[in-house]
Each structure stands twice: as structure tokens, then as C-alpha cells.
Amino acid sequence: MRNFTDEAEPPFGERIQMRAADGWPLTWTGKRWHIGLGLADPSLHEAWPPCVPGPYFEITEEEYVTASSFTTKDSGERSEFEGGGQRDSETGKPRFDLLLPVRVPYEDQLLTRVAALMGRGAEKYEDRNWEKFSDQAALDRARSSAFRHFMQWFNGETDEDHAAAVVFNLKAAEYVKGRLAGRW
């Protein structure tokens, strides 16, 4: 999804054109935003030489994001900092800052190792290949691989980064479970 901001909400339901911040033309056709060179509107070929298709994305009305699309959540609790600055409480919110152990160097962090594993997978297959997994067979394979890598990690095998592979396969399995349930 590409996000574009504008001062006013777009007039959904009528054909409009504007340019995205990066210069790509946007055309609302009444159903979707079309982004790209000449793909949404043939008249753009004259305005944007050379006349070759560029990146093409579709943004539905529900996905269109403007500056006024968001609200700031407020728990009503405040933390005050030296100097007088205030922030909302972190109570009940995910603490991503706790995922990384303080004393472990960047290259040794498990999250870094998982990202490196996923980078190697992207080179071997393609970027986000795992997001194509969507059926029971893919779920079964992810579960099987997670358990096998867990056993290899548990038994001290070091021929691969088995801990990173466990995390990746759990991530893939949870993703496929969500697809099978229709959540995404």
C-alpha cells in the first residue's frame, strides 16, 4: 500500500487527477486510485515522456490515507520528563524495545539473525516469497520446519542458524493461519 497525504479528503466517486509526492500521477476512477505512467489515463502519455509504464499500484478507498485519517490515542495517563515534556503512558502497549537484549551486539541479536535469514531467502527465491503461502500444505510445512529446526537447535546443531529458522517458520505459520482464517 502506498500512502499519500492531501489537505482535503478526495472526492470519492468522481474522476480526479493529482500527482503524488514522488511525482507519479494519481487518478481516481470512481473505484480505485490508479498510480503509474499512462496506465490509469492514456492522456498521461503526452505529459510524461517517455511513454513506458512505471510502478503501478492500486489503492482502494479504505486504504487511502490522508493526514486527517488518524487520531491520537489517549489513555488519560501522563508521564512527565525533566524539562516538562509529557507523554502518554506505555501501559498496555507492546514493548518492542524489550525484544533486544541490551548487552548483545547488533550482529548477534536474534532479530538481526532472523532478518539475515530472510534476506538469504529473498536472494534464493524472491522478496516476500513466504507471503505467497496460503494453504494448509504451506501451514503444515512451516510447522514441520519450525519443529525440526527447534530440535536441531535444542540438540546443539550449528550447521545452520536453527534459532532464526524457528522464528521464521513460526512467523510463516502464524501468517498462513491468518490467511486461512480470512484475516488478511
Whether 36 contacts 51, CB under 8 Å: no
pLDDT value, residue 8 = 41
> Residues 34, 56: contact at Cβ < 8 Å?
yes
Q: What is the pLDDT of residue 90?
A: 86
**DSSP conformation class of 41:** -
Residues 168, 115: Cα–Cα separation, whole Å: 9
Helix (H) or strand (E) holding 170: helix 162-180
> What is the structure's pLDDT at 137?
96
Q: The domain containing residue 100 runs over which residues?
A: 96-180
Task: Please report the pLDDT score of residue 29 as a whole number.
Answer: 53
| Predicted structure pTM score | 0.59
Domain count, the chain: 2
| The predicted structure's pLDDT at residue 26 | 58
- 102 and 58 share one domain: no
In a domain, 85, yes or no: no
Whole-number pLDDT of residue 46: 45
Q: For position 71, what pLDDT does the model report? A: 80
Positions in the chain short of pLDDT 50: 1-17, 21, 31, 37-59
- The rounded distance, in Å, linking the Cα atoms of 79 and 147 is 43
* The pLDDT value given to residue 63: 53
For residue 18, what pLDDT is reported? 52
**What grid cell was written down for 25?**
500521477
Asked if residue 114 and residue 59 are part of one domain, the reply reads: no
